[in-house]
Homo-oligomer: A and B are copies of this chain.
Amino acid sequence: MKPLILVTNDDGIGAPGIKALIDTARQFGDVLVVAPDSPQSGQGHAITLEHPLRLYKVELFEGIESYECSGTPVDCVKMAKHVLVKDRKIDLCVSGINHGSNSSINIIYSGTMSAAMEASIEKIPSIGFSLLNYRMDADFSAAQLYAGQIIESVLEKGLQDTLLLNVNIPNLPLESIKGTKVCRQAEGHWAEEFIPNVDPSGRPYYWLSGRFTCEDQGEDTDIWALEHGYVSIVPSMHDLTAHKAIPKLSHLNYNR
């Protein structure tokens, strides 16, 4: 039997990036699509507890079973696993191809990467793909080629079961991309700005804006790899424990 590959994203089921990823994934297995019915960028690991969720079958991709979900990317993965695929193993979850970078700290805000992380919590090997181009008419061809190679390798060699891969592809023509680099998440953050304004009824509001900044100059980071023309691959995990810090915090440890 062919492997079963779940495809999702955070830009919504109508985004060109998910179409590109479906076209790549279908070369390697049976594809099931469960994706948000609206853009969900910046939704991080949000789940929907306060509202009901809708799940509708759609005919968008020739020959591919596809559903749109009213929830977050993480909700999509949960619904795929617990509503739609009860009697078969999901062999791989791929998320994206995101319109814009998810390198460095962006992994934490990203619905694309949180969907991949949710799959990893369910012990499904998973990969998030992002292209460093926000435009809806971005050229996904180089990203598709690298995505295909990485999907093939993960299906063949597996992935330690609590891992996910955060793959970012530079916005370059294929011939200018130098290869791939397995690397670590650069320590960066957003220098935020909230743009103040006043609504038509005179009440003040703020709109989040900002600029990504990274002082981490390590040559072993995803930011370095991307700036030097490589596809970055960061193995990531949902165990957030700072294991090395445990022995250093013994002063917090006591018995009554």
Contact = CB atoms under 8 A, between A and B. Distances in A.
Interface in A1-53: 39, 41-50, 52-53
Contact of A252 (B78, B150, B250): B150
B207 A52 contact: yes
Looking at chain A's contact residues, the main secondary structure is mixed
Question: How extensive is the interface on chain A, given as a class?
Answer: 35 or more
Contacts of A187: 162, 239
Interface string A61-105: 000000000001011001101110000000000000000000001
Contacts of A150: 252
A237 interface: yes
Nearest to A167: B252
Question: Most B CB atoms within 10 A — which of A82, A105, A204, A251?
Answer: A82
B208 A78 contact: yes
Contact of A189 (B75, B121, B237): B121
Interface of A: 39, 41-50, 52-55, 72, 74-75, 78-79, 81-83, 105, 107-109, 114, 117, 121-122, 150, 153, 157, 160, 162-163, 165, 177-185, 187, 189, 192-194, 197, 199, 203-208, 233-243, 245-246, 248-256
